[in-house]
Amino acid sequence: MPIRVDAYMAGGIARGILVRAGSLREVLEQDRVLTLERVQWQPLGGRSGPSSGVSIPIDDVLVAVGDDDPGTPIHASWHRIRLELGAYLVEGEMPTFPGFDPGRALTRPSGDFVLLRDVRVGPRASVVSAALAGPHALVNRYAVESVACDLMLGFFFPGAEMIHADVAEAGAS
């Protein structure tokens, strides 16, 4: 079954169909390139146009929104989160296991991408609220520049600035 993917990158958004079999997460975590067919390219601040196909280095993908089932964790506690990366503001909810304490957690995130649900993505510089991007997305955790959440997530997003939780609540409304 083909997977529709929106890949947000520094220069714009590539919307297309995933070429390879498997889930979007598998492709992002195992391959070094995201290959899409029937691509609609939308550069930032420019006009969109069609392209037959494109191969995107995984490191260039900031956010990937797919219409496949991401394998959402069962019994997860969900936390509102707001991320800034590249030209984008991303809002959504991040899962943790019940009782998760980031200061005592022995488990660390594996892979380059972090799952979010109820995701909204918009221009970072805009005063307009971000638009709904999809029921879930995978965010390149190494590209995140700032994080607003009720948890301290420094090891999830290394190098990102951590912002107090009430900022996340204000931005989510």
Of the pLDDT bands very low, low, confident and very high (cuts 50, 70, 90), residue 83 is very high
Residue carrying structure tokens 């989510």: 172
Mean residue pLDDT of the chain comes to 84
Task: Give 108 or 56, the one with higher predicted confidence.
Answer: 56
State pLDDT tens for residues 84-130: 999 999 999 988 777 666 665 555 667 899 999 999 999 987 756 66
Pairwise CA distance, residues 91 & 16, whole Å? 22
Pairwise CA distance, residues 128 & 136, whole Å? 21
DSSP H/E element including 11: none
pLDDT at 134: 86
User: CA dist 122 to 76, 84, 131, Å?
Assistant: 26, 10, 6
pLDDT at 79: 86
Residue carrying structure tokens 């600035």: 161
Residue 20: CB atoms within 10 A of its CB come to 14
Tally of residues, the chain: 173
* Range scoring the smallest mean pLDDT among 107-121, 124-138, 144-158: 124-138
Task: Give 102 or 147, the one with higher predicted confidence.
Answer: 147
Pairwise CA distance, residues 127 & 138, whole Å? 24
Pairwise CA distance, residues 123 & 104, whole Å? 35
Of the candidates 171, 76, 162, 167, the residue with the CA atom closest to the CA atom of residue 124: 171
Asked whether residue 15 carries a pLDDT value surpassing 60, the answer given is: yes
